[in-house]
Amino acid sequence: MLVEIAQIDIRNGDKEKNLERICNIIKNSKSDLILFPELFTTGFVGEKIYEFAENLNDSKTVERLSEIANGKIIAGSIVEEDNYHIYNTFILVDDTGIIGKYRKIHLFQEEKDYFCPGSEISVINTEFGRIALAICYDIRFPELFREFMKNNAELVLVCANFPSIRREHWNVLIRARAIENQFFVVACNRVGEDMRNKYPGCSIAVDPWGSVLTVADANEELLICPINRNRIAEVRKGLPVLEDIRLRY
């Protein structure tokens, strides 16, 4: 499986321009899966977030992405409206439409003013294996990733707007989540800035041993990373730590 991490800036509140750029990246990609940042069509725009919310049953964004997927899986989060509730929702889209979704469970501070928290984890069967979804602040909660492992996830995708002020935590947390559970973690963070924060990029892919497969700097960049699922069994056989878990929840 070939994964592409699209570390891009986001034009805050300019959905059409963002989508135009995203569609160009997809059309030019030769990867199996393309991962975009959190809220990749809008960014965080405070109270204006309600103007950009889409019902996934009638989403123009999903429709556009699906039309150009051409055998690829497209991943990232958008603003979802469902029954007058607003969610930060991670979607997986292919030629057929949405094949998986996850509503962000762990909301950070002011996010709680705009979004409702999700309540269910998401591990999706795909032709490339079992893929779990997480969003930004989620990486601080190891119990979520342990649930992914219990549900036989092989690859966790993380989309993020992780700020520069906490940059030192980013790589450490991503690598820790991969090492603890002996699966792949691929994380895409945005660059640029909005009214709240600056964003450092530093998108990263980590294998089940914790080895960094690829990492970006603070500029816009498209990273390509092969994922070999056989590596999971290799690592777990060599160091069968998961067999020694004694505390059950």
Q: Quickly list H helices, the chain.
A: 15-28, 49-52, 60-68, 142-150, 167-181, 230-238
**Other residues' Cβ atoms within 10 Å of the Cβ of residue 111:** 16
CB 22 within 8 Å of CB 40: yes
The verdict on whether 38 is a catalytic residue reads yes
CB 216 within 8 Å of CB 3: no
Of 15, 72, 101, 104, which is the active-site residue? 104
User: In the structure encoding, which two tokens stand for residue 234, read together?
Assistant: 């290799």
Helix, strand, coil proportions of the chain in percent (round to 5)?
35, 30, 35
Of 4, 15, 38, 188, which is the active-site residue? 38
CB 42 within 8 Å of CB 52: yes
Of 4, 54, 101, 136, which is the active-site residue? 136
- Amino acid at site 27: K
Q: Of 201, 161, 153, whose CA–CA distance to 177 is shortest?
A: 153
Give catalytic residues, as residue numbers: 38, 104, 136
